[in-house]
């Protein structure tokens, strides 16, 4: 089966795709606005020329995906340094030398898997192939960058049962080939789309898709034993898109397809360059499941992600603020709240309509509620 339309770019395609980026005026215009917001307004042409020259010097001689990621790594390191107050991780002993399926909660369009890949790169381990929705991949610069960075395409907006089965089977076969022929690990979100409301729940459809191409060859129990599933839990102290997510669906419903695509690109950029506070990534124990119930396995993955989710003081601050009007939120720990942190966090939502402010605060509280439920 030919996977060219969904797979990451091959080494042979790298030079051509970098040249495509160098010829993409929108790419450098957007970078100029993000990296030099003031200068790009005063001297747009000069700033874009400067960025293009820097990009050319860093990437034009790159001839493989591995070289591209090596050239990209210093910029990722700088991005983490500038947009976070520190990146920490735990459970690194669970990183596997065998090709594995890393299933993670999904908060940011690009960064969830990028943090894991950066950790792997820093430890001189093989990076992952990353599943990404096709809503961003319509031939623009984001598609080129992501497929150069080992992303493969998950088609979302599929119509008709026959076409859906065809697309999902192809995706399932591609992932199976990645694991057992190419010896490449993959990362995929626990459900379709980001957890915009703060609820990191697993969708059984993800497991069904992974198993789809093997369902006639192996029993579910046999397949689970063969595959190595490692849940991953990532937690951001602050979400650069918290207000956007709280208001986003109303706006999306009023947008044209072109406007939605542009909005997705803007959200991608905001997620990358916006302030995130502290970030913690936990690699959970590999799944050890002997049963044959897909829903039970999906639930087990979800519980591992939730129970290992890092709760930041922002969640306690949000619960405290909500508890002034609703006693159901009266479970925060006052000892974890610093007055300066409290002011800093709550100032994010000044001037918002009350229902939007409430939704933003609840988004920070929900992970704490879900973690409490898992732990009983």
Average pLDDT on 197-206 reads 95
| Domain count within the chain | 2
For residues 258 and 137, membership in a common domain is answered with yes
Among 268, 286, 304, which residue terminates a domain? 304
What is the total residue count of the chain?
A: 376
> Is it the case that residue 249 has pLDDT exceeding 80?
no
Q: Which residues of 62-79 are buried (b: 16+ CB within 10 A; e: fewer)?
A: beebeebbebbeeebeeb
Give the pLDDT confidence score for residue 24 in this predicted structure. Answer: 93
Give the pLDDT confidence score for residue 375 in this predicted structure. Answer: 73
Name residues whose C-beta falls within 8 Å of residue 3's C-beta, 6 or more positions apart in sequence. 152, 170, 173, 174, 177
Query: According to DSSP H, which parts of the chain are helical?
Result: 14-22, 25-35, 39-42, 44-59, 65-83, 111-122, 141-148, 161-180, 204-212, 220-226, 242-252, 257-273, 294-307, 313-323, 339-346, 354-375
Residue 50 located in a structural domain: no
Average pLDDT on 322-332 reads 89
For residues 131 and 264, membership in a common domain is answered with yes
Among 285, 304, 323, which residue terminates a domain? 304
Residue 29 located in a structural domain: no
Q: Which residues, listed in sequence order, are joined to residue 282 by a DSSP beta bridge?
A: 90, 233
* Range of weakest confidence among 217-226, 229-238, 254-263, 361-370: 254-263
* Range of weakest confidence among 132-136, 178-182, 222-226, 339-343: 132-136
Residue 31 located in a structural domain: no
> Is it the case that residue 197 has pLDDT exceeding 50?
yes
% residues pLDDT > 70 (the chain): 94
Give the pLDDT confidence score for residue 114 in this predicted structure. Answer: 95
Q: Which of 216, 170, 189 is nearest to 116 (CA)?
A: 189
Residue 161 located in a structural domain: yes
Give the pLDDT confidence score for residue 257 in this predicted structure. Answer: 47
Higher pLDDT, residue 79 or 375: 79
Q: Which residues, listed in sequence order, are joined to residue 104 by a DSSP beta bridge?
A: 189, 232
> Is it the case that residue 209 has pLDDT exceeding 50?
yes
Residue 297 pLDDT level (bands cut at 50, 70, 90): very high
For residues 229 and 360, membership in a common domain is answered with no
> What is the residue range of 186's domain?
65-304
For residues 162 and 294, membership in a common domain is answered with yes
Give the pLDDT confidence score for residue 260 in this predicted structure. Answer: 52
Residue 294 located in a structural domain: yes
> Is it the case that residue 31 has pLDDT exceeding 50?
yes
> Is it the case that residue 49 has pLDDT exceeding 50?
yes
> Is it the case that residue 251 has pLDDT exceeding 70?
no
For residues 169 and 278, membership in a common domain is answered with yes
Give the pLDDT confidence score for residue 261 in this predicted structure. Answer: 56
For residues 110 and 216, membership in a common domain is answered with yes
Among 278, 304, 330, which residue terminates a domain? 304
Residue 117 located in a structural domain: yes
For residues 129 and 257, membership in a common domain is answered with yes
For residues 222 and 365, membership in a common domain is answered with no
Residue 51 pLDDT level (bands cut at 50, 70, 90): very high
For residues 283 and 329, membership in a common domain is answered with no
Give the pLDDT confidence score for residue 253 in this predicted structure. Answer: 52
pLDDT digits (tens, 9 = 90+) for 138-160: 658 888 999 999 999 998 777 88
Give the pLDDT confidence score for residue 376 in this predicted structure. Answer: 60
pTM of the prediction? 0.93
For residues 154 and 293, membership in a common domain is answered with yes
For residues 334 and 295, membership in a common domain is answered with no
Give the pLDDT confidence score for residue 135 in this predicted structure. Answer: 74
Residue 98 located in a structural domain: yes
Q: Do residues 361 and 349 lie in contact, with contact meaning Cβ atoms separated by under 8 Å? A: yes
For residues 98 and 227, membership in a common domain is answered with yes
CA distance linking residue 346 with residue 331, whole number of Å: 18
Residue 39 located in a structural domain: no
């Amino acid at each position: 089966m030919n996977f060219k339309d969904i797979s990451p770019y091959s080494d042979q395609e790298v030079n051509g795709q970098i040249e495509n980026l160098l010829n993409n005026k929108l790419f450098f215009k957007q970078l100029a606005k993000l990296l030099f917001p003031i200068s790009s307004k005063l001297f747009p042409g000069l700033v874009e020329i400067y960025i293009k020259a820097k990009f050319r010097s860093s990437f034009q001689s790159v001839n493989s995906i591995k070289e591209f990621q090596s050239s990209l790594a210093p910029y990722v390191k700088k991005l983490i340094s500038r947009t976070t107050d520190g990146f920490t991780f735990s459970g690194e002993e669970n990183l596997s030398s065998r090709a594995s399926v890393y299933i993670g909660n999904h908060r940011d369009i690009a960064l969830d898997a990028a943090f894991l890949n950066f950790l792997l790169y820093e430890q001189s381990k093989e990076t992952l192939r990353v599943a990404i929705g096709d809503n961003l991949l319509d031939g623009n610069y984001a598609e080129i960058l992501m497929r150069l960075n080992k992303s493969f395409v998950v088609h979302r907006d599929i119509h008709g049962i026959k076409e859906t089965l065809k697309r999902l089977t192809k995706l399932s076969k591609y992932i199976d080939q990645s694991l057992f022929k190419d010896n490449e690990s993959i990362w995929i979100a626990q459900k379709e789309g980001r957890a915009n409301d703060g609820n990191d729940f697993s969708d059984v459809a993800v497991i069904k898709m992974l198993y789809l191409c093997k369902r006639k060859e192996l029993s579910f129990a046999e397949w689970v034993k063969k595959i190595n599933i490692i849940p991953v839990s990532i937690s951001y102290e602050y979400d650069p898109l918290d207000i956007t997510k709280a208001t986003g669906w109303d706006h999306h419903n009023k947008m044209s397809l072109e406007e939605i695509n542009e909005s997705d690109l803007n959200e991608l950029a905001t997620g990358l360059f916006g302030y995130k506070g502290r970030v913690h990534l936990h690699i959970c124990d590999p799944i050890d499941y002997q049963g044959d119930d897909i829903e039970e396995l999906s639930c087990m993955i979800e519980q591992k992600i939730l129970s290992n989710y890092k709760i930041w003081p922002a969640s306690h601050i949000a619960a405290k603020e909500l508890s002034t009007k609703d006693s159901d939120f009266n479970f925060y720990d006052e000892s974890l709240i610093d007055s300066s942190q409290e002011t800093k966090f709550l100032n994010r939502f000044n001037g918002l309509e009350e229902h939007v402010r409430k939704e933003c605060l609840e988004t920070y509280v929900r992970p704490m509620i879900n973690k409490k439920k898992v732990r009983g």
